[in-house]
Chains A and B, each alone.
Chain A
């Protein structure tokens, strides 16, 4: 009697149900007929034989039921029956069904949506071979989360000297200008060292991937020319899945390259949210490959089997000091040392930024689900008293309590199953919306909204917990009736039922209050950041990126003087360009800059000062290369000295402007004007005279304190600039300038085009995505919680009025005024709400500590926000109490007393 035989028999019975029923019927029928025949053969008359055969056999249906029980399918039959009954019950009370289903669907849907976002952003591991042994090599001591790899020369040093890593690969994402068959387009690409794919263990979908040989000749790629691979997605989207794509030549920038392979469909690169479409060899990435002091790429390594991460780190860290020394630098705040960051889930730029907000939102939606559960539990409790009769009868005719509890749990499960289905549909929409928000306005975070098994498993788990939460207590409660007197409906579930219901309302109000308090904090944070003075005037400013592949000169610059000449040529082109933009109609100011506020562009350099020793930790600074009118265009106030003019060009003396923080750090005691600074380790090591000091501007993050910034004129750049940001101020319709600027960009260089077209307001909006997300979701779910709590409150009050209608009738019969009846109802309500509000405010104050890092300019327990939350709850309470209170005053004493 193996388990297998039983399972086989069970499933056969389930799947061939009709056959089973027919054969049971036929078999027993035959039995009866044969027995009847034998009885007749014994001389018993026909009618009597017929009767006796049946009497001795017993009820055919009962026998069949015993047979079904023997096969183990009775339980499934009962569940099927219970499910059918539950569905009929729901159809019969559509009001109950609607409220319960909406409560559950919203709660479960919200949880599923947020979890799937968490899944996408935080949990998924990279689809590469053995992701657990991958590490990012971070030269900023882990502060960047693995993004800040070493300069290319240091990478080579590490690659060639490591013993504890089985390999190190470099990669750097970039927006590439790609020409396939029509106009130039922008493609998310990356440059990688030749061993990248081999290190990650990725196999091509077809064709081949890049090899170290493809990345062996500087400026050329492989010995046989430049080759690239494209992503599966790009191949499908851009080449219509054409298998003939291998061997095709396309233009990247100004260079012709050959496609040799397609990466597998599940591979998007190493950064979550930034899928890579085109991968090319590092040797084509330009002169930065040779720059010793330029930090621009990321590196990933694989820890050798048997080696520890710490061994590998120490080994690489030992190479760091001599390298910095060669550059005249030391470890400082920006470069505290090498850290190895786990890489199994990819570069965690997105995760670092969004994991905390997402977890907060997860907690919020969990609270919403709890409120929804409390609603359903309350409704079920109310229904339990209505169904007391049914339960008594079921118990009286012999159902065990366990059987009835099982029936009630099945009803709960049916509700949750339906709620989950609707919830999943809602979640799909919600996720698409949220993912859209991430990808909005060139925000460029592309996530794949997909409900994988993990998300579905999560939903199932939530659903099961939900059933347990809301239906076990009512089920146990409902069956605690005395079987003998089913007819008695007067003895309602008085005390205990009322008390549970009230507790649930307090819980709901508490959670809603906490969520509302939180929402006000996030809304005010967003408002504070939105209205923060970032150090510049952001109204009416158009910002865009000019992409110009300025051809490198035939002879590659080698010496500092040659670099200087090359940069000056480019600077002159840019200056001519910006003059033409400034001449467009109604333009109040136009300027170019390598970085502008809130666009996440950055350039960090080490600096040195003539005749003055700067402590190593303070040598790092941001560097912004700008055209003359930059400060005027963004209205950045001048503090002392002067700003650049058109005479500060390639041939003029080298000049620099500092921001206040830089001036204060480097010159705490004297005026910086006239001091000479330089940037060691760069292509051009000129000395720049400080001529002015301007106000601090928040470039990267509005929340971060101001950082050091050096400005130099575009004609005196230390880098060969081929894409820069343009800012244009115009009082009305700044974006209307775009069609006029486009041809100018084209004139600048053939193929030059505009990208990242925005206004400063839009940049701000994008920079505040996290805050916007939090305040929007917190507000939305806070409102939802409020609505659900309102429905719960209404349910309890309405039920109370019905339950106490006899009492109210008597009170009114002996002369109670309407007002005192209303007050009686309201008093109880306000007591519940007051308890909930107090507990909610307390728990919000406790919880707020863990969210304080997400707040700005507002403290947890903020009185204004708390007051607003209380006001909203009171308003909702009044709304919820209005109808029941009015109904109480309409009770006719005579009817109320008679209907008992």
Chain B
């Protein structure tokens, strides 16, 4: 396990949307998937996941239904809705522009000015 970074405010929603966009997941699965796709570089508070999931579902960005987990347990599976897919595109777009801008800024040297 590498060094963990605290999550930036507001990025959890984006990560959840991304995670479920790769396939339906139950709550714990979302957590694992985020750890997997971030190469375990980010620290996610276990408890903060569910309020975020409920908020996203409340906003109609993800939907849920009960199904069976890999080990035959009943589990609630989340999947992206059409509105969620659009939101994810917008957020990814925004994030890329944002990180690019931050990247430019941090790469700046006295010669560039």
Contacts and interface: CB of A to CB of B under 8 A. Distances in A.
Interface of A: 1-2, 5-6, 8-10, 23-24, 26-28, 30-31, 33-35, 56-59, 62-63, 66-67, 69-72
Q: Which of B31, B47, B54, B74 has the most CB of A within 10 A?
A: B54
B83 A9 contact: no
A24 B26 CA distance: 12
Interface in B35-82: 45-47, 50-52, 54-55, 57-61, 66, 69, 73-76
A9 B51 contact: no
Given A6-B58, A66-B47, 14 more contacts: A1-B59, A1-B87, A5-B58, A5-B59, A9-B58, A24-B50, A27-B26, A27-B50, A28-B27, A30-B75, A57-B46, A66-B50, A69-B51, A70-B58
B74 A34 contact: no
Nearest to A65: B51
A63 B47 CA distance: 6
A20 to B, nearest CB: 10
Contact of B51 (A26, A27, A63): A63
B95 interface: no
B28 interface: yes
A30 B28 CA distance: 8
Given A1-B83, A1-B87, A23-B76, A67 B27 contact: no
A59 B50 CA distance: 12
Interface size class on chain B is 20 to 34
Contacts of B46: 31, 35, 56-58
Interface string B9-50: 000000000000000001110010000000000000111001
A66 B58 CA distance: 13
A2 B27 contact: no
Given A5-B83, A9-B60, A26-B74, A67 B50 contact: yes
A753 B61 CA distance: 82
Going nearest first, the 9 A-B pairs with the smallest beta carbon separation are A5-B60, A66-B51, A58-B47, A1-B59, A70-B55, A70-B54, A67-B54, A34-B28, A57-B46
Contacts of B50: 24, 27-28, 31, 63, 66-67
Contacts of B73: 30, 33
Nearest to A57: B46
Nearest to B30: A31
Contact of A57 (B26, B47, B66, B69): B47
Nearest to B57: A9
A6 B56 CA distance: 10
Contacts of A71: 54, 58
Contacts of B69: 30, 34
A63 B55 CA distance: 13
Contacts of B52: 70
Nearest to B58: A9
A263 B24 CA distance: 65
Contacts of A31: 27-28, 31, 46, 50
A84 to B, nearest CB: 25
Given A27-B27, A30-B75, A1 B51 contact: no
Contact of A70 (B28, B47, B51, B83): B51
A728 B3 CA distance: 115
Contacts of B31: 31
Q: Which of B46, B52, B59, B66 has the most CB of A within 10 A?
A: B46
Contacts of B51: 63, 66-67, 69-70
A58 B69 CA distance: 24
A488 to B, nearest CB: 39
Contacts of A1: 59-61, 83, 87
B111 to A, nearest CB: 45
B27 A72 contact: no
